[in-house]
């Protein structure tokens, strides 16, 4: 054979390098999203399964269809559930003009309107996020941390002792008081107490199945009919929402008259000037505040409930946390506990879907405009390839390990990652520290509580039923 004519000759015209990269992976076959499996279940049954038994539904779908499958919960919209780490990673790093999140917030539009950060994409989203970010970081975060410490003490002290209590209502009131600090800072509105109580009553609607209905997009006559059916809670919700709207508008007017600046969210928005020289509208400010009343409270309240659900079944973890607190030299293990709570019980089991506005290839699948990608935090966090013994509560897996951004996503990811992630961590640490140092906590029910939907989050079905007893500290030997 004439080796001088071999195109793979290392001494050829390629300067000593073979022109073919033999280490490159073989070309991957790209399949259309239309070829992905579709859940074989009626639409209503799918909706009810996601509402009543989301964990069971998701696990059964992955077992039957794999890491990618399509649900048909909204007529005419192709929603693809994804849970492979590489798929999630590619989704997070996709260009902002390819995947949008704003249009996927339709189910919670009844709460947050269409003018807040949650509805924005691309440059508009980037600019608004940049302007409100300081209310969740820096000096504002330090101020919130101080408030959280006091609120945690007050909340834990208010928990009834020696009787069965559902934790969720207490946790939710606590997180709502924290978000008031984020929203208004040192310049609290005169109607704060009244607003707080009305917000809490309004948010009760989240526990009703009717909250899954997009009645805000229905004709007026259908909404009127729904309001007549009082047991569904729609009329009560809409009535209370209008009251909250008026209270928020009054709070904005009061702050404007005061002329007081601040690093709270309202203060920052009032001090904002858009690129075109305009100011955020009152409607934009109100929708941003309403977004925080929903997303900034429900998620952390759910996480607190899940934390107690797991800890009361793991006494060795409780003792290790207490030992670390008493030692007072750090909180590495408590931090690992919070990471593990958010892995095993992510409040939002399915993060906000991304709408494909330009065709994109992810994981060998070509998704077309109009498709929606729905990353499953629940399935991702429960995958044994990502976390050995995934159903076990093992905080040790996070000791000295920083969670990867595409295998641990309780706060979402990419450029739309939750703004309040650091505040949520502060709240969880403060609450758990206060509970474990002052109380002995017992489960009311021996069996684990399953997940139950509360619109934007999943909470333990019974709200985490616990018994709090004054802590009995063992006397030291020789004392």
Segments making up each domain of the chain, as ranges: 28-380+395-470
Residue range 178-189, pLDDT digits in tens: 999 999 999 999
Residue range 215-237, pLDDT digits in tens: 888 999 999 999 999 999 999 99
pLDDT band, very low/low/confident/very high, at 198 (cuts 50, 70, 90) = very high
- The H or E element that residue 400 is part of is none
Please state which of the ranges 6-10, 131-135, 440-444 shows the lowest mean pLDDT. Answer: 6-10
What pLDDT, on the 0 to 100 scale, is given for residue 58? 94
Mean pLDDT of the chain: 91
- As beta bridge partners, residue 165 has 466
- As beta bridge partners, residue 361 has 366
Average pLDDT, integer, range 96-124: 89
Could you tell me the pTM of the whole model? 0.90
Average pLDDT, integer, range 441-457: 90
What pLDDT, on the 0 to 100 scale, is given for residue 31? 95
Average pLDDT, integer, range 318-322: 98
- As beta bridge partners, residue 68 has 82
Q: Please, what's the largest Cα pairwise distance for the chain? A: 93
What pLDDT, on the 0 to 100 scale, is given for residue 24? 54
Q: What are the distances in angstroms from CA 471 to CA 297, 437, 441?
A: 28, 7, 8
Contact 92, 354 (CB under 8 A): no
What pLDDT, on the 0 to 100 scale, is given for residue 455? 80
What homologous superfamily does CATH list for 28-380+395-470?
Answer: Cytochrome P450 (1.10.630.10)
Which of 24-28, 51-55, 87-91 ranks highest by mean pLDDT? 87-91
pLDDT band, very low/low/confident/very high, at 104 (cuts 50, 70, 90) = confident
Residue range 247-306, pLDDT digits in tens: 999 999 999 999 999 999 999 999 988 778 888 999 999 999 999 999 999 999 999 999
Q: What are the distances in angstroms from CA 459 to CA 14, 100, 106, 302, 307?
A: 62, 27, 21, 5, 11
């Amino acid at each position: 054979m004439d080796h001088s004519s071999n195109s793979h000759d290392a001494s050829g015209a390629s300067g000593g390098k073979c022109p073919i990269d033999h280490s490159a992976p073989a070309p991957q076959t790209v399949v259309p999203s239309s070829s992905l499996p579709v859940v074989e279940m009626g639409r209503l049954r799918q909706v009810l399964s996601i509402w009543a038994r989301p964990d069971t539904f998701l696990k059964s779908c992955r077992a039957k269809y794999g890491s990618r499958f399509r649900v048909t919960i909204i007529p005419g919209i192709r929603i693809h559930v994804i849970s492979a780490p590489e798929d999630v990673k590619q989704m997070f790093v996709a260009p902002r003009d390819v995947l949008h999140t704003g249009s996927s917030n339709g189910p919670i539009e009844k709460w947050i309107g269409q003018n807040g950060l949650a509805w924005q994409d691309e440059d508009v989203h980037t600019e608004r996020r940049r302007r409100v970010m300081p209310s969740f970081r820096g000096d504002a975060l330090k101020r919130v941390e101080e408030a959280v410490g006091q609120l945690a003490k007050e909340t834990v002290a208010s928990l009834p002792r020696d009787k069965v209590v559902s934790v969720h209502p207490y946790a939710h009131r606590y997180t709502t008081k924290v978000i008031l600090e984020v929203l208004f800072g040192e310049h609290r509105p005169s109607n704060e107490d009244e607003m707080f109580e009305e917000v809490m009553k309004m948010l009760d609607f989240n526990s009703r199945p009717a909250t899954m209905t997009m009645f805000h997009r229905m004709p007026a006559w259908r909404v009127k009919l729904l309001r007549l059916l009082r047991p569904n809670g729609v009329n009560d919700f809409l009535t209370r929402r209008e009251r909250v709207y008026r209270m928020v508008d009054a709070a904005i007017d009061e702050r404007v008259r005061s002329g007081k600046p601040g690093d709270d969210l309202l203060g920052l928005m009032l001090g904002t000037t858009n690129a075109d020289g305009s100011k955020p509208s009152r409607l934009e400010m109100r929708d941003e505040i309403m977004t925080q009343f929903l997303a900034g409270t429900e998620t952390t309240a759910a996480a607190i409930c899940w934390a107690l659900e797991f800890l009361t079944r793991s006494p060795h973890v409780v003792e290790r946390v207490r030992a670390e607190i008493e030692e007072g030299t750090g909180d590495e293990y408590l931090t690992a506990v919070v990471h593990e709570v958010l892995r095993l019980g992510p409040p939002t089991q399915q993060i906000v879907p991304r709408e494909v506005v330009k065709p994109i290839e992810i994981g060998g699948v070509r998704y077309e405009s109009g498709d929606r990608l729905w990353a499953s935090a629940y399935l991702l966090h429960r995958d044994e390839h990502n976390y050995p013994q995934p159903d076990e509560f093992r905080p040790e897996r996070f000791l000295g390990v920083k969670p990867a951004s595409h295998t641990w996503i309780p706060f979402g990811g990419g450029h739309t990652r939750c703004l309040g992630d650091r505040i949520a961590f502060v709240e969880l640490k403060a609450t758990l520290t206060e509970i474990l140092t002052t109380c002995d906590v017992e489960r009311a029910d021996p069996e684990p509580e399953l997940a139950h939907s509360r619109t934007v989050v999943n909470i333990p079905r019974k709200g985490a039923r616990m018994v709090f007893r004054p802590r009995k500290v063992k006397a030291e030997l020789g004392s």
